[in-house]
Structure 1
Amino acid sequence: MEKIFNEEIISQIKELLQPMTKEVNFVLFTKEGAPTVDETIQLMSEYSQISDLINVEIVDIDQNQDLAMEYNVSLTPTIVALDSDKKDHGVRFAGVPLGHEINSLLSLTLEMGQKASSLPMDIQEKIKAIDKPTNIKVFITLGCPHCPGAVHKAHQMAMLNENIQAEMVEAQTFNALSTKYGVSGVPHIVINDSHSFVGNQPIEVFVDEASNA
C-alpha cells in the first residue's frame, strides 16, 4: 500500500510539531468493513511514527463497547484525542482527517501537545463560562479549504471546557447524518442538534452560538 506521507511531508510535519513538549494520545475506534476505516488506520499508524510524543491505540468498537460508551463514540472510524495524562477533552474526528483536514489533526496535536490555548484570554473566559453540556458537530469534506479552521475552533473550545464535546464529521462518509442535519454547504456547524450555521466564522460566532444553544 502506498504511504500517505512521503519523506518531504514527514520532515515538514516534524518541524511543525517541534514546539510540542507533552504527549498526545489517540484512540482510534474501528469496525471491520466500515467506510474509510482502512485509510484511517493507515493514517494514524504512519502519524504515530513521526514523533515519539504521538501515541495511537487502535480498538475494535464491537470488542470494546464499554470503552466506546465511556468516550461516547458510536461512529466508525472515530479518533478520540487524549492529553498526556490520557484525559479526554471531548475532541473527536469522525471519519478520516485527510485532504485539507490533515491541518485539523496537526493543529489539534500541536495545541494539545503544548497544553496552552492560542485563543485570546477574553475569548477563553467566555468559553469557560459555558456551563451546560454542549455538543458541536462540524461537518466537512476533505476537499474543503475552509473547513479545518472551523474544526480547530470547535476543538479549541472543547479543550478549554469539559462541558463541550467537539467533533469533526466527514459528511460523505456519514451521509445519513449529513442528510439528517440538512448539510449542503461545508463547513456546516450544528450545536446541540438545534442551532446551526455555515462557514468558517470568527471564533466569537462559535462562542455566541454555543452560549445560546
Structure 2
Amino acid sequence: MFSESIKENLKKEFEKLIEPVVLVFHGKEDTESTKAKNLLIEISSISEKIQFAESESLSCEGYPCISIQIKEKDYGIRFMGIPDGGEFPAFIQTIMMVSRNDYDLTERSAEFLEELDRTVDIKIFITKSCGWCPPTMLKIFSFAMVSDYITATAIDCHAFSDLAVKYNVSTVPKVVINDRVEFVGFKEENEILGHIFGAVS
C-alpha cells in the first residue's frame, strides 16, 4: 500500500516513539472497514512500538472505528473512517502524540481541566480536503489526553454522511460537544475550553 519512500519516512518518524501504541480497531464486513484495517496493519508493521488489535467492545457511533491508545490507558481518542489522504499526516501525528504524551495544551488549560468532573463527548466532523481539520482534530485530541472525562472522535463526513446530515454539517471542521454546544472552524484553545465547560454547565 505504501511506497518505499513513505515507509522510510514513517520508519524515521516512528524512531521517536516512546511508549508502545495500540491501534484498536472495530469494523464491519464492508469495503471501508477492510481498507481501514489493512492500512492499520501496514502502519503497525513499520515499527515494533505500534501494535494492531481488533476489539468488538470498542464502542463508536459508527464503523470502521479506531482507538489510538497505549497499553496502560485508553485516552478516549477515536477516529471513524479511513485515515488516509489529507487526514493521514494528522493520524500519524496523533500516534506520536499519544506515544510521547506530547499534547498541545498550555499548563493553564490543563489546570482548568482538572476541575472537570462530568463526561464530555466531542465529535469533530472532518473531510480529507479540509486545511483546518487536522489542527482542530489534534487540538481536541489534546483535550482528551489531559482529561479522563473527555472522549474525542474525529468523524469523516464522506464515510458517515448520515451523521453529517444529522448534525447539520455544511462546513468543516465542525465540533459538537455533548450534542449541546457546537462551533465551526479552528478556534483558539481558550475558546474551546470555554465551550467544553459551557456544555456541562
Structure 1 residue identity aligned to 2:14: L
1:78 is aligned to 65
Is 1:31 aligned with 2:23?
no
2:49 is aligned to 53
Matches within 5 A, 1:1-213: 3=1, 5-33=2-30, 36-59=32-55, 64=56, 67-68=57-58, 72-85=59-72, 87-213=73-199
Gaps of 5+ in 1: none
CA distance in 2, matches of 1:174, 1:30: 13
Q: Residue 90 of structure 1: CA displacement?
A: 0.6
Structure 2 residue identity aligned to 1:27: V
CA distance in 2, matches of 1:105, 1:41: 14
Q: Deviations over 1:64-89 (max 9, x none)?
A: 3xx23xxx32411000122132x211
| Pair 1:141–1:116, CA change in 2 (3 A) | closer
Structure 2 residue identity aligned to 1:78: C
Structure 1 residue identity aligned to 2:89: N
Structure 1 residue identity aligned to 2:71: S
Tell me how many residue pairs correspond in the alignment: 199
CA distance in 1, matches of 2:137, 2:12: 22
Structure 2 residue identity aligned to 1:56: F
CA distance in 2, matches of 1:17, 1:205: 32
CA distance in 2, matches of 1:116, 1:31: 32
CA distance in 1, matches of 2:174, 2:90: 15
Q: Residue 153 of structure 1: CA displacement?
A: 1.0
Structure 2 residue identity aligned to 1:43: L
Calculate percent identity across the aligned residue pairs: 29
Structure 2 residue identity aligned to 1:21: I
Give the RMSD, CA atoms, in angstroms. 1.5
CA distance in 1, matches of 2:167, 2:143: 22
Q: Residue 121 of structure 1: CA displacement?
A: 0.9
Q: Residue 15 of structure 1: CA displacement?
A: 2.3
CA distance in 1, matches of 2:26, 2:81: 10
Contact 1:41–1:58 under 8 Å retained in 2? no
After TM superposition, the score normalised by the length of structure 2 is 0.93
Gaps of 5+ in 2: none
CA distance in 2, matches of 1:184, 1:104: 22
Contact 1:28–1:56 under 8 Å retained in 2? yes
Runs of 4+ in 1 over 6 A off after TM superposition: none
